[in-house]
């Protein structure tokens, strides 16, 4: 037993020194944070033997923590570590690597909080770069393709989406020189973009491509070693199947899609990756008890976090359904009063949160109107402003939430 324990510790120490950060999927968010702090401290020591590599690694660890928790402070630390890596760079390839590191931080900021300015900053990081080593060139092509994919989503133009998919294809062809995690990120992005384009254009070729990518990810990502990659692939496959089921009005396909989300939820616990857990729960929000929706909201309270805004909206919607089921006007009024207090708070509100609160106020007004027989006022305006704000923030999921809340009589 003691030898076994020592062997495990040695294996963990060896993994810490590896360039492959896939082992992070085996530890929870708190331990990821501890590793990021340790690496940051080591990188800052005068005696650090490889300061550039250490700062680069610290940035990657802080990004992973931010991705799982949504903390802005972790994003800030990742950005600072990337800046320190740039200061320590001594070769052209190291300077390119540090720029890629900074761009990846901006991409994550956009994924978590929206804001097209983050994509503009990422573009600035990558401008006029030329890498020498094959691995660095592959990483540069990969992050450029991922950036283009996000800009294509904002445009919502089918031709732009197709062009972005082609760039992701080219990046995947060079993926042999990437880390396994880098290749997985690319494949997930290509599958996501192909699904979006396939559903939009009713294009079977793109849908087949997405299915192949997701199958590769699910089959290669062992639940014992890569639970988060597996869960993200299963969740994306579930989202695609649900979208197709809605188009075809196929209840059996919808149930299969939900089963994939159930499988994704089984891969990890909430403390392992809070935001991954929240994302899976939100798809099943109409089937969840209030306490689980409350937990999803509590795990995503960072101001301006898109997933947090969505969680707050789904929690409110569930409480409204319960209140309406028993014709409890007082409960609806209480929810409205709480939201008004939030809106009147002196602290500045992030645009994403403001849009979510406008959707909430519209839902409350519509629920009260249904219960009292009154006519809701300014609901169309509230939701139209929420849609426009969500669009400007680059938050299509929030925009969709506002569109779905719009009454048929005033739907845009």
Residues 94-106 have pLDDT tens digits of 999 999 999 999 9
Is 303 inside a domain boundary?
Answer: yes
pTM over 0.75, yes/no: yes
More confident residue, 338 or 407: 338
Mean pLDDT computed over 308-334? 95
151, part of any domain: no
Question: How far apart are the C-alpha atoms of 243 and 210, rounded to whole Å?
Answer: 13
Q: Are 97 and 82 contacting, i.e. CB atoms less than 8 angstroms apart? A: no
Asked whether residue 133 is domain-assigned, the answer is no
Which pLDDT value is given to residue 111?
96
For the chain, report the end-to-end CA distance as a whole number of angstroms: 66
Query: Which of residues 84, 99, 128 is at a domain's end?
Result: 128
Per-residue pLDDT, averaged over 349-364, amounts to 95
Give the pLDDT score at 6: 53
Which of 277, 254, 255 is closest to 265 using CA atoms?
277
| Residue 190 included in any domain | no
Tell me what pLDDT residue 207 has: 83
Question: 228 near 273, Cβ under 8 Å?
Answer: yes
- What is the number of H-type helices and E-type strands within the chain? 19, 0
Residue 344, CB-side half-sphere exposure with 13 Å CA sphere? 6
Q: Give a yes or no: residue 380 inside a domain.
A: yes
Number of domains into which the chain is organized: 2
The answer to whether residue 367 sits within a structural domain is: yes
Closest alpha carbon to 28 in 275, 311, 308, 281: 275
Task: Tell me the C-alpha distance between 332 and 364, whole Å.
Answer: 7
Residue ending a domain, choose from 81, 111, 128: 128
Q: Would you call 280 exposed, middle or buried from its count of C-beta atoms within 10 A (0-12, 13-18, 19+)?
A: buried
222 to 111, 119, 151, 279, 318: CA distances (angstroms): 25, 32, 32, 21, 35
- The pLDDT tens digits of the residues spanning 164-199 come to 888 999 898 877 878 888 889 999 999 998 888 888
Q: Which domain holds residue 11?
A: 1-128
Reply yes or no on whether the pLDDT at 214 is more than 50: yes
For 46, the 3-state DSSP assignment is coil
Top-confidence residue, 321 or 125: 321
Domain-located, residue 244: no
In this predicted model, which residue has the larger pLDDT, 225 or 346? 225
Q: What is the pLDDT of residue 409?
A: 59
**Each residue's pLDDT tens digit, 106-146:** 999 999 999 999 999 898 888 888 888 888 999 999 999 99
**What is the average pLDDT across 371-384?**
90
* pLDDT confidence bin for 4, thresholds 50/70/90: very low
The count of other CB atoms within 10 Å of the CB of residue 395 is 26
Residue with the two structure tokens 């299963």: 234
Residue 378, classed as helix, strand or coil, is coil
Whether the per-residue pLDDT at 408 is higher than 80: the answer is no
Query: Domain boundary residue among 91, 106, 128?
Result: 128
For residue 410, is pLDDT > 70? no
What number is the average pLDDT over the span 35-62?
Answer: 95
Nearest by Cα to 23 from 34, 36, 12, 38: 12
pLDDT grade for 356, boundaries at 50, 70 and 90: very high
Distances (CA, A) of 286 to 234, 290, 317, 327, 356: 20, 10, 9, 19, 18
CB 335 within 8 A of CB 320: yes
Asked if the structure places residue 249 within a domain, the reply is no
Residue 4: partners with Cβ closer than 8 Å, 6 or more residues away:
none
């Amino acid at each position: 037993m003691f030898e076994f324990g020592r062997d495990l510790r040695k294996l963990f120490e060896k993994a810490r020194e590896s360039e492959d950060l896939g082992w992070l999927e085996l530890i929870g968010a708190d331990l990821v944070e501890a590793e990021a702090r340790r690496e940051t401290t080591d990188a800052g020591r005068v005696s650090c033997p490889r300061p550039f590599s250490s700062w680069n690694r610290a940035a990657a660890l802080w990004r992973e923590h931010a991705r799982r928790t949504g903390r802005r402070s972790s994003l800030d630390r990742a950005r600072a570590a990337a800046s320190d890596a740039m200061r320590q760079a001594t070769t052209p390839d190291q300077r390119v690597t540090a720029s890629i590191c900074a761009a990846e931080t901006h991409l994550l900021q956009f994924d978590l909080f929206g804001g097209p300015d983050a994509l503009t900053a990422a573009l600035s990081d990558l401008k006029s770069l030329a890498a020498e080593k094959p691995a660095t060139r592959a990483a540069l092509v990969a992050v450029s393709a991922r950036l283009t994919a996000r800009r294509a989503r904002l445009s919502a133009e089918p031709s732009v989406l197709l062009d972005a998919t082609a760039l992701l294809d080219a990046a995947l062809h060079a993926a042999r020189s990437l880390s396994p995690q880098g290749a997985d990120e690319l494949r997930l992005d290509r599958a996501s973009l192909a699904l979006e384009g396939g559903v939009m254009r009713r294009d079977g070729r793109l849908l087949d491509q997405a299915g192949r990518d997701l199958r590769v990810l699910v089959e290669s990502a062992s639940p014992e070693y890569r639970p988060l990659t597996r869960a993200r692939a299963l969740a994306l496959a579930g989202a695609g199947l649900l979208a197709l089921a809605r188009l075809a009005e196929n209840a059996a396909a919808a149930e299969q899609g939900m089963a994939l989300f159930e499988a994704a939820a089984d891969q990890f616990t909430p403390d392992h990756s809070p935001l991954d857990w929240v994302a899976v729960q939100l798809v099943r929000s109409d089937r969840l008890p209030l306490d689980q929706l409350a937990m999803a909201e509590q795990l995503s309270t960072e101001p301006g976090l898109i997933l947090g805004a969505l969680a707050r909206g789904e929690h409110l919607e569930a409480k409204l359904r319960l209140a309406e089921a028993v014709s409890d006007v007082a409960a609806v009024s209480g929810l409205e009063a709480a939201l008004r207090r939030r809106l009147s708070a002196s602290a500045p509100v992030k645009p994403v949160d403001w849009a979510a609160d406008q959707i909430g106020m519209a839902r409350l007004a519509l629920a009260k109107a249904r219960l009292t027989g009154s006519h809701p006022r300014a609901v169309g305006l509230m939701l139209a402003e929420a849609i426009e704000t969500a669009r400007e923030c680059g938050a299509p999921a929030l925009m969709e939430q506002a569109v779905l809340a719009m009454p048929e009589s005033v739907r845009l």
